[in-house]
Amino acid sequence: MSALRTAPARKVLGRLSLPERTFVADALRTETVGGVLLLIAAIAALIWANIPALHHSYETVSHFHLGPEALGLNLSVAHWAADGLLAVFFFVAGIELKRELVAGDLKDPRTAVLPVVAALCGMAVPALVYTLTNLTGGGSIHGWAVPTATDIAFALAVLAVIGTSLPSALRAFLLTLAVVDDLFAILIIAVFFTERIDFAALGGAVLGLAVFWLLLRKGVRGWYVYVPLAVVVWALMYNSGVHATIAGVAMGLMLRCTTRTGEEHSPGEHIEHLVRPLSAGLAVPLFALFSAGVKVSGGALGDVFSRPETLGVVLGLVVGKTVGIFGGTWLTARFTRASLSEDLAWADLFAVASLAGIGFTVSLLIGELAFAGDAVLTDEVKAAVLTGSLIAAVCATALLKMRNTRYRRLVEAEERDDDLDGIPDVYEQDDPAYHLRMAEIYDRKAAEHRRMAAEKAAR
C-alpha cells in the first residue's frame, strides 16, 4: 500500500525516451517535407481551378478516365488519386499504427489513455458541433464525419512555414494523436460509407490478405511478390464496395514492427522508410491537386458561413477540434494521477489542439464520400474544409508564436551536447560518467583560460 501511495504521478507530455525522441524526429522530418509539398499542391489546385483560361483544362484532366473497364477499374484521374494513391497513404498509416501499438506510446495502456481519449474527444466534439449546427439550421447531417480528421502533414507544414519549433513531447503528442485519429477515420470510412457489398469480391480480398499475411509469416522476401499481390487485393477491395484504402491499412497492420536478434530495424520500419517518400511526396500531393481545386469567389466564401453543412464543417474544425482535444486531455489529467510536465503549460496544449483543427486529406476524402450524389455541395464542403483549416492554422500560428521564445529554449536544452558524444546532455544528467566527462571538459577550459591570462600578463 505504501508503494502505491508513494508512486510518482505520470507526467502529461513529459520528456520522451531517447529512442522514441529519435524516431519522432525522423518521422516528423519526412512529414514536414510532405506537408510542404501538400501545401504547394493545394495552392496549385486552387490557382489551376480558378484561372478562367485554365479551369477547363483542370476539369478535363480530373475527369479523364483510364483503366481496364472489364475489371471495373475504368476510373477518372481524380478517382484514381482518391481511391488508388491514398491507399499508399493509408498503408503507411497502418504501419505507423502497428508500431505505436507494439513499440510506441500505445503499447502501455497507462500511456495510451491520454492520446486515445484526446483523439476520441477530438473526433466526437467536432461531429457533435456539425450535427447540432445542421439540426438547428435545417441542413444535412450526412457530413458529420467531415470535420473529425486531423492532417498531421499539413499541420507540420504550417509549423515549418511560420518557423516555430515545438518541444519533442508536443510533437510526439501531435503525431500519436494523428495516428489514433487516422485509425478512427478508417473505421468511420469502413462502417459508415460502405453502401453496397459484393461478398464475392470482398471474400477474394480477404483471401488475398490472408496470403499476404502467410507470406510475411514465412519470411518470403521480394517486392515482385508483394506489390502485384497488393494491387490484386486493392482491386478486389475496390470492387467489393468497401473503400479501397482499407486494403492499404490492413496490409500495413500485418507488417512486423518489432526487431529480432541481429536486426537493426524491423521489416515494418524498413518498408515504411521506403514507402513514406512515395506517400508524402507523390500520393498525397496528387490527391490534393485533384481534390482541392474548388471555385473560390466572394459569394462562394459567403455561402460557407451561411449554409449549415459548410458552417458545421468550419465550426467543427476550428471550435470542435480545439475544445475536444484540449478538454479530453484536461479531463484525463483531472481524473487520473497524471500531471502536466513542469516545462509546459496548458496554454501549450491549447495551441496544439487548435493546430489539430487543420483537416485536409482525410476530411476532403470523407466530404467526397458523404455528398457523392451532389457535386455542388461536395465542392462547397471542400471549400469549407479549406476555410476551416486556414482559420485553424491562423489561430494556431498566433498562439504558438506567443510561446515561441520558450519553445526555442526548450528545444535548445533538448539538443545540447556539450560533451560531443552524440547523446543530448539532458538524457545523461543522472549518469556519473557524464558528470566526469563534463568535469574534464570544464578543467580543460579553465586551464586554457588560465594559460591565455598568463600569456596576456606576460606581454
pLDDT tens digits for range 220-239: 988 889 999 999 999 999 99
Q: Could you give the CA distance from residue 420 to residue 25 in angstroms, rounded to a whole number?
A: 19
pLDDT tier for residue 145 given thresholds of 50, 70 and 90: very high
The grid coordinates of residue 425 equal 546532455
How far is CA 413 from each of CA 54, 167, 246, 400, rounded to the nearest angstrom? 50, 10, 42, 19
pLDDT at 151: 82
pLDDT tier for residue 312 given thresholds of 50, 70 and 90: very high
Stretch among 201-205, 272-276, 403-407 having the lowest mean pLDDT: 403-407
How many CA within 13 A on the CB side of residue 253?
15
Residue 215 reports pLDDT greater than 60: yes
By the 8 A CB rule, do 87 and 151 touch?
no
Q: Which of 45, 89, 126 is nearest to 383 (CA)?
A: 45
The grid coordinates of residue 342 equal 513542469
pLDDT tier for residue 320 given thresholds of 50, 70 and 90: very high
The residue ranking higher by pLDDT, 3 or 153, is 153
Residue 448 reports pLDDT greater than 80: no
pLDDT at 1: 37
Interacting residues of 455 by C-beta distance below 8 A, sequence separation 6+: none
pLDDT tens digit sequence for 392-430: 999 998 988 887 777 777 666 666 666 555 566 555 555
As a residue count, the chain comes to 459
Q: Domain 2-193+243-415, what fold? A: Na+/H+ antiporter like fold (1.20.1530)
**For residues 311-333, b (16+ Cβ closer than 10 Å) or e, as one string?**
bbbbbbbbbbbbbbbbbbbbebb
pLDDT at 8: 46
How far is CA 457 from each of CA 235, 250, 315, 449, 450, rounded to the nearest angstrom? 82, 74, 71, 12, 10
pLDDT at 5: 40
By the 8 A CB rule, do 290 and 77 touch?
yes
pLDDT at 440: 58
pLDDT tier for residue 178 given thresholds of 50, 70 and 90: confident
- In the chain, where are the structural domains located? 2-193+243-415, 425-458
The residue ranking higher by pLDDT, 70 or 195, is 70
Residue 362 reports pLDDT greater than 60: yes
pLDDT tier for residue 437 given thresholds of 50, 70 and 90: low
pLDDT at 180: 82
Residue type, 455: E
pLDDT at 175: 76
Interacting residues of 245 by C-beta distance below 8 A, sequence separation 6+: 83, 86, 87, 89, 90, 186, 189, 365
Crossing angle between the packed helical segments 199-217 and 223-240, to the nearest 10 degrees: 160
pLDDT tier for residue 435 given thresholds of 50, 70 and 90: very low
Q: What is the mean pLDDT of residues 361-369?
A: 88
- Most confident range (mean pLDDT) of 151-160, 280-289, 337-346 is 280-289
Q: What is the mean pLDDT of residues 249-267?
A: 88
Residue 456 reports pLDDT greater than 80: no
The residue ranking higher by pLDDT, 13 or 342, is 342
pLDDT at 20: 56
How many CA within 13 A on the CB side of residue 85?
26
Q: What is the mean pLDDT of residues 188-210?
A: 90
Q: What is the mean pLDDT of residues 73-96?
A: 89
The residue ranking higher by pLDDT, 316 or 413, is 316
pLDDT at 426: 54
Full-model pTM: 0.78
Instruction: Write down the H helix ranges in 103-240.
Output: 109-137, 152-162, 168-192, 199-217, 223-240
pLDDT tier for residue 391 given thresholds of 50, 70 and 90: very high
State the DSSP code for 283: I
Which residue is it, cell 533538448? Answer: 414
Largest Cα–Cα distance of the chain, in whole Å? 94
By the 8 A CB rule, do 315 and 143 touch?
no
pLDDT at 241: 87
Residue 164 reports pLDDT greater than 70: no
